[in-house]
Amino acid sequence: MKKSRKRKIGATVLSVPMSSMIDVVFLLLIYFIVTQKDEISEAHLAVNLPAPDQAQQSETKPNLLEIEIQPGQVFVQGAPRSLEMVRKTLTYLSGLDPDQTVIVKISQLAHVDEVVQVLDLCRGVGLNNLSIMALK
């Protein structure tokens, strides 16, 4: 059998104090957890700010057109409309302002073909500034 060898200097035995090492490791762990800074996700978003002279001119809110799609029905600004009336309304509004913002609110129960028809109408009349939301 082999005997374990320990270094002896004079009459003392040198050993590593494990309790002190564990304390140091926990202190370093706490230090790194407390000083950690998460990356700000908003820092990577593109923000277009108006020029200082244009900021005073653009005080008005942009016009929003809300289209809500329910199963079998399409609502424009809260009023029920047929697809032909929706097309006429979108054609008129795109003639006034081609940068018109359109918010399409879609019910979870709406059929896909209804949604595609409304989105095709928007694209067909030249409205490209679309936002799509799902309704509960």
Rounded to the nearest 10 degrees, the angle between the axes of helix 83-96 and helix 112-124 is: 30
Domain membership of residue 5 (yes or no) is: no
Domain membership of residue 21 (yes or no) is: no
Structural domains of the chain, count: 1
State the residue range of the domain holding 74: 62-135
- Mean pLDDT by groups of 10 residues along the chain of 136 residues: 58 77 93 85 70 60 79 89 88 82 88 89 85 84
pLDDT at 7: 59
Rounded-to-integer distance, Cα 131 and Cα 81, Å: 20
Rounded-to-integer distance, Cα 1 and Cα 56, Å: 91
pLDDT at 26: 94
**For position 85, which CATH number holds?**
3.30.420.270
Domain membership of residue 28 (yes or no) is: no
